[in-house]
Amino acid sequence: MTAKNTKKTMQRQGFKTGEHIVYPAHGVGQIVNIDEQEIAGMKLELFVITFEKDKLTLRVPVAKVQTVGMRKLSEENVVKKGLETLKGRARVKRTMWSRRAQEYEAKINSGDLISIAEVVRDLHRAENQPEQSYSERQLYEAALDRLAREVGAVKKLTETEAIHEIEAMLAKGPKRGAAAEAAEEEAA
């Protein structure tokens, strides 16, 4: 292989090995290699992506990057906007939980940082609020994890530091307690 060929295999469609990316269904991962494999008699170029925390390795065909929604990490201004979103008032629709849960799941798996921040904001519970149901807690944890990983990767923080920053932004939001919720329900 020539030096020219080596460089070519290390970068595809604007993505290169060693780079952190966002894969909507799994969150932040790192491209560790760009392989060429023969599958069903066809040669395919594949991004080999690892997700350390999940102990997962994914092989994504280079040609399918757009289809699956793989993208580069968000720019700092998008991360800032996502963190600002956390300070807003939670918007909880008055629909059945199963419908809301599907919407939250779709937002989490969209890979869109702002949408994920909205889920974190909407499902966040302060200390003085009623306990979350198991499924609410699961969705909140999934959204918080995705958000923290991307915020951490962009700002070069550990996941724990990113979670602290997210929680600090949530604390700056409108005070939500039993009294505030009672007032909201009376107004509705």
Q: Which is higher by pLDDT, 24 or 9?
A: 24
In this structure, which long-range contacts are made by residues 119-122, counting pairs with CB atoms below 8 Å and at least 24 apart in sequence?
119/143, 120/86, 120/144, 120/147, 120/166, 120/170, 121/85, 121/86, 121/88, 121/90, 121/91, 121/170, 121/173, 122/90, 122/91, 122/92
Is residue 95 scored above 50 in pLDDT? yes
User: Average pLDDT in the 79-100 region?
Assistant: 91
- Residues 68, 80: one domain? no
Gyration radius from the chain CA atoms: 20
CATH code at 171?
A: 1.20.58.1290
pLDDT confidence bin for 10, thresholds 50/70/90: low
- Residues 103, 179: one domain? yes
21 lies in which domain range?
A: 3-72
- Residues 172, 115: one domain? yes
- Residues 132, 97: one domain? yes
Distance CA 107, CA 105 (A): 5
Locate all alpha helices (DSSP H) within 11-72, ordered by sequence: 65-68
62: left (phi over 0), alpha (psi -120 to 50) or beta: alpha
- Picking from 117, 54, 58, 49, the residue whose alpha carbon sits closest to that of residue 88 is 117
Quote the number of domains for the chain. Answer: 2
CATH code at 17?
A: 2.40.10.170
pLDDT of res. 175: 67
Q: Contact 22/30 with Cβ under 8 angstroms?
A: no
pLDDT confidence bin for 1, thresholds 50/70/90: very low
pLDDT of res. 2: 39
Q: Which is higher by pLDDT, 98 or 186?
A: 98
pLDDT of res. 11: 66
- Residues 48, 84: one domain? no
